[in-house]
């Protein structure tokens, strides 16, 4: 089965992010395909590279980036939601005259910023679009 995943909640204030990550890992382990993981609303906070959780806690952005690298996943962050919440890639930072950007990437893999059309496409291409969070 081909899944699209929608994550609407941030990584540390709600269980939805962890559940989405575990679901994605389990689906991949069972041989299913993940068409795309789309981060929307507060879910864009999963993509920040500047969080610094304690050593004994999980680094959610890094977990997603590692999973994307291992399985060639498409992790898409909604551009409008990201900009509202201060999540920028290098291109968006330059457009808005910011000197820094904070989108988690791992050697070219990891998260990318795009529009809601990517969510629509995931809903069309996947057999099931599974939503985590409100």
Strand order in the sheet with 2-7: 105-106, 109-114, 75-78, 33-39, 2-7, 128-132
- Based on the number of CB atoms within 10 Å of its own CB, is 121 exposed (0-12), middle (13-18) or buried (19 or more)? middle
* Residue from 7, 78, 81, 87 carrying the catalytic annotation: 78
89: CB partners within 8 A, 6+ apart: 101, 103, 111, 112, 113
Question: Annotated catalytic, 4?
Answer: no
DSSP state of 58: -
Residues involved in catalysis: 78
């Amino acid at each position: 089965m081909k899944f699209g995943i929608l994550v609407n909640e941030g990584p540390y204030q709600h269980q939805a992010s962890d559940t989405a990550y575990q679901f994605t890992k389990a689906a991949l382990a069972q041989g299913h395909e993940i068409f795309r993981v789309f981060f929307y609303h507060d879910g864009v906070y999963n993509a920040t590279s500047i969080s610094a959780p304690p050593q004994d806690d999980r680094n959610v952005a890094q977990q997603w980036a590692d999973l994307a690298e291992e399985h060639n996943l498409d992790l898409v962050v909604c551009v409008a939601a990201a900009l509202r919440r201060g999540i920028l890639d290098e291109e968006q930072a330059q457009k808005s005259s910011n000197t820094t950007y904070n989108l988690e990437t791992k050697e070219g893999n990891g998260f990318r910023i795009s529009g809601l059309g990517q969510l629509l496409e995931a809903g069309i291409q996947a057999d099931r679009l599974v939503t985590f969070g409100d």
